[in-house]
């Protein structure tokens, strides 16, 4: 809402800004800055034990094999999960924007509802579906006579990572589909009509008209995914707690298990926070680099 003429003192400005600024600064910005200080300490969380050790936490993290393993799991989720996610999301976005397809409203609901319900609940639902003794998946395979295919789904690192990726994709696909759908709907219909008049249809229309014009929206969506994939916590922690043998940890779950271990009495707040700071820097750098790479003149309609 643009501005009115200038008057001496507008009390409304400081009065209305103060509460939001106060909450936000004190309980979000200040802790975020404080994280950088805490990461320089050997600190178990209680004042007396804090010892300044400079960058030693960061040096330790760089040499920690579990940090590397966790990060490689994040990258696996980002790349393999991203390939699956965007193939499906693009497909569903095309279906949802095709006027002749029936039941699009229902499809939209089915795609999007997992995004809105409790992530812990979703993880536990899949934990039970994948349960080797009474789970839906093994049980159904048995009933179909395919008992050779039954697995201890979360028992080995490879399978467990595949399951984690599946559950994450299942949960977030609605969000990405709806972003891409909005992108397709924003492409002026006359552009598509013109292409169709020239004889383009189906795959040709998609790859030569829709996809190039969707580039900017796709870039935004991929940036969101990079940020999400590097920060995955809830699904992994609720499904596997990072196991078996710490093999499915992501950086977030590993950081949590280091800072507040459930099985050991030693809290490592300084070290855990150093890992969080490194992840934060990685997220900022990765999304900035990606955005730089794909940037070019925006397509104007």
Question: C-beta of 299: minimal distance to another protein in Å?
Answer: 14
Question: C-beta of 16: minimal distance to another protein in Å?
Answer: 4
Calpha distance 234→10 (Å, rounded): 45
The nearer residue to another protein, 128 or 207, going by C-beta atoms, is 128
The nearer residue to another protein, 75 or 283, going by C-beta atoms, is 283
The nearer residue to another protein, 66 or 233, going by C-beta atoms, is 233
Calpha distance 276→58 (Å, rounded): 10
Residue count (the chain)? 301
Token couple for 183: 């992108």
Task: Specify the residue for token string 């004190």.
Answer: 26
Q: Is 245 left (phi over 0), alpha (psi -120 to 50) or beta?
A: left
Closest CA to 294 of 225, 197, 207, 198: 225
- DSSP-derived letter for residue 51 is E
- DSSP-derived letter for residue 10 is -
Token couple for 225: 């995914």
* Distance, CA of 2 to chain centre: 36
The nearer residue to another protein, 246 or 291, going by C-beta atoms, is 291
Question: C-beta of 235: minimal distance to another protein in Å?
Answer: 10
Question: C-beta of 191: minimal distance to another protein in Å?
Answer: 19
Question: C-beta of 28: minimal distance to another protein in Å?
Answer: 4
- CB under 8 Å to 173, separation ≥6 — which residues? 85, 88, 89, 92, 111, 114, 115
Asked if residue 279 lies in contact with residue 227, where contact means CB atoms within 8 angstroms, the answer is no
Question: C-beta of 86: minimal distance to another protein in Å?
Answer: 15
Cα–Cα distances in angstroms (integers) from residue 81 to residues 96, 103, 183, 212, 249, in the given order: 22, 27, 21, 22, 16
The nearer residue to another protein, 38 or 213, going by C-beta atoms, is 38
Question: C-beta of 265: minimal distance to another protein in Å?
Answer: 15
Asked if residue 141 lies in contact with residue 135, where contact means CB atoms within 8 angstroms, the answer is no
Closest CA to 171 of 117, 217, 127, 241: 117
Question: C-beta of 245: minimal distance to another protein in Å?
Answer: 19
The nearer residue to another protein, 209 or 268, going by C-beta atoms, is 268
The nearer residue to another protein, 12 or 293, going by C-beta atoms, is 12
The nearer residue to another protein, 80 or 179, going by C-beta atoms, is 179
């Amino acid at each position: 809402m643009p501005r009115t003429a200038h008057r001496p003192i507008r009390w409304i400005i400081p009065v209305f800004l103060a509460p939001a600024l106060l909450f936000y600064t004190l309980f979000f910005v200040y802790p975020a800055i404080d994280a950088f200080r805490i990461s320089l300490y050997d600190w178990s969380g209680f004042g007396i034990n804090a010892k300044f050790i400079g960058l030693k936490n960061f040096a330790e993290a760089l040499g920690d094999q579990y940090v590397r393993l966790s990060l490689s799991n994040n990258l696996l989720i980002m790349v393999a999960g991203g390939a699956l996610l965007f193939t499906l999301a693009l497909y569903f976005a095309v279906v949802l924007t095709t006027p002749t397809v029936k039941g699009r409203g229902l499809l939209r609901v089915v795609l999007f509802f997992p995004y809105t319900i409790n992530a812990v609940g979703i993880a536990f639902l899949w934990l039970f579906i994948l349960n080797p003794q009474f789970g839906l998946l093994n049980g159904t395979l048995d009933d179909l006579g395919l008992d050779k295919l039954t697995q201890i789904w979360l028992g080995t690192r490879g399978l467990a990572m595949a399951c984690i990726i599946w559950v994450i994709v299942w949960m977030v696909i609605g969000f990405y589909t709806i972003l891409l759908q909005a992108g397709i709907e924003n492409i002026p219909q006359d552009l598509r009509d013109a292409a169709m008049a020239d004889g383009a249809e189906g795959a040709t229309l998609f790859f030569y008209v829709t996809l190039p014009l969707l580039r900017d929206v796709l870039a935004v969506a991929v940036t969101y995914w990079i940020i999400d994939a590097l920060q995955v916590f809830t699904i992994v922690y609720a499904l596997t707690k990072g196991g078996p043998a710490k093999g499915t940890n992501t950086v977030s779950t590993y950081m949590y298990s280091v800072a507040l271990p459930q099985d050991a009495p030693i809290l490592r707040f300084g070290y855990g926070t150093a890992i969080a700071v490194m992840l934060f820097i990685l997220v900022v750098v990765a999304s900035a680099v990606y955005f730089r790479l794909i940037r070019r003149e925006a397509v104007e309609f």
